[in-house]
Structure 1
């Protein structure tokens, strides 16, 4: 009987393309990416799922494991304040759903909500993922004869990988994905804000976004940490750059390598 661990694949579903990497033992191999066209008649995730199916069909994935990282395009984020009135997980889910619906102005019945683990008294970061996308990934795993190990927003994977580099104190963590940025503001040891914003892929637009967010914080701006996979950012941004992948032109590959 073989005691070798199964191959592990990691797919990155980006805003305009899908990439695939593989971990075989201690070897990390980028297998390539595939772009797709967005169709207004389809859900945003539908062409990404089709592109991923094409990439997996080109690889010997039978019996392997798959991890999926989702761009902020396929995720929604919301701050869920602490409430002493919440005493049961079902109540917490209902409360988080109400926070989302208040923020976005629409029902999220077709979305699955996941909350960050936080100590009592602290606000949580909630993530909403399309239920149909999650079910589609499960079906793709069955069709490809591989095990879907996890589905995670890239924001969470990147923050968890970069968190060891963060110093104590208040901070603003900025994830600058292609075409979209997500900002996490922490103060007093707790989350204070999460913002998602469409943003041009240049330093000027990113600097303006960071400055606007810091203005919400108060007189003393927080330390800013930036993770911008696949982008050469100028030092004039005044941010500590995290998990940078040098000389990687494909942002999907840079995202994969940053958390591999």
Structure 2
């Protein structure tokens, strides 16, 4: 019999705050920090929130907003023959995409069938090591650290079907766009900006124009708009059920993706 609770703590690290819940939502702690201090500030906020909970053996699952991650699409390569070569190839793709070294970042890759492109995410080692340390201090086992993009995609993937589609994850300050064609990933983009209707409609129109008007099913998940639903033409909203209750903040909504 496991001594761990069947209900792990769920922490969400957002651009301007950290939230913590379990079966119920405990609290969020907001902060203002320069980009260079965001990781340290978020870790301290998480430490504070965990310190308010009874200390008992349990697990911790962490969701990271796009502000803590880098993303790129990793094209298939026939010459890759080992995990080490795959990691080196992924690092080279990231450095070519961002124009800077990826030293101090850890890369994780989506599992895909042979011949298919992979979604690659990079997370700062300092953040991952800090989460391990906070977990130890709080007598927790760190069960998983996952970009919110992955959690949201997994939650709604059954809706997308087998056809071509555009999935827009509109976090409050940054949007990510995943394009799938013929059963594989074709494009991954990130864009800073608002999750308001005007910004989202412009983003979607631009992506559709880049595809030359080819038919696409378009899906949008906007966790910060749960109480003011986006009004967008030709779009299917990916919303959580049961509906979000009045007063739930965006970190609480994000936690429900994996709850």
> So what's the TM-score if we normalise by structure 2?
0.93
- Matched position secondary structure for 2:137: helix
1:227 aligns with 2:221: yes
Give, in angstroms, the shift of residue 256 of structure 1: 1.1
- Sort the Cα spacing of 1:16 and 1:178 in 2 relative to 1 into closer, same or farther, 3 A: same
Give, in angstroms, the shift of residue 214 of structure 1: 1.7
Cα distance in 2, alignment partners of residues 113 and 228 from structure 1: 25
Deviation per CA, 1:38-68: give whole Å up to 9, x if none. Answer: 135x332221111111000000142011000
Residue 170 of structure 2: aligned partner: 176
What is the CA RMSD across the aligned residues, in angstroms? 1.7
Comparing 213-222 and 49-58, the one that deviates more: 213-222
1:239 aligns with 2:235: yes
On the 8 A contact 2:5/2:59 being kept in 1, the answer is no
- Matched position secondary structure for 2:131: helix
Matches within 5 A, 1:52-91: 52-91=46-85
Cα distance in 1, alignment partners of residues 3 and 96 from structure 2: 51
On the 8 A contact 1:215/1:221 being kept in 2, the answer is no
- Sort the Cα spacing of 1:39 and 1:87 in 2 relative to 1 into closer, same or farther, 3 A: same
Cα distance in 2, alignment partners of residues 198 and 246 from structure 1: 25
Give, in angstroms, the shift of residue 32 of structure 1: 1.3
Q: 1:39 aligns with which of 31, 34, 39?
A: 34
Give, in angstroms, the shift of residue 243 of structure 1: 2.9
Cα distance in 1, alignment partners of residues 232 and 108 from structure 2: 36
On the 8 A contact 2:4/2:58 being kept in 1, the answer is no
Residue 12 of structure 2: aligned partner: 12
Deviation per CA, 1:104-147: give whole Å up to 9, x if none. Answer: 00010100000110011110000000001000000011111111
Structure 1 alignment gaps of length 5 or more: 23-27
- Sort the Cα spacing of 1:7 and 1:163 in 2 relative to 1 into closer, same or farther, 3 A: closer
On the 8 A contact 1:203/1:233 being kept in 2, the answer is no
Deviation per CA, 1:128-172: give whole Å up to 9, x if none. Answer: 000010000000111111111000001001100111111220000
Comparing 140-149 and 213-222, the one that deviates more: 213-222
Cα distance in 2, alignment partners of residues 236 and 94 from structure 1: 40
- Sort the Cα spacing of 1:217 and 1:132 in 2 relative to 1 into closer, same or farther, 3 A: same
Cα distance in 2, alignment partners of residues 61 and 243 from structure 1: 34
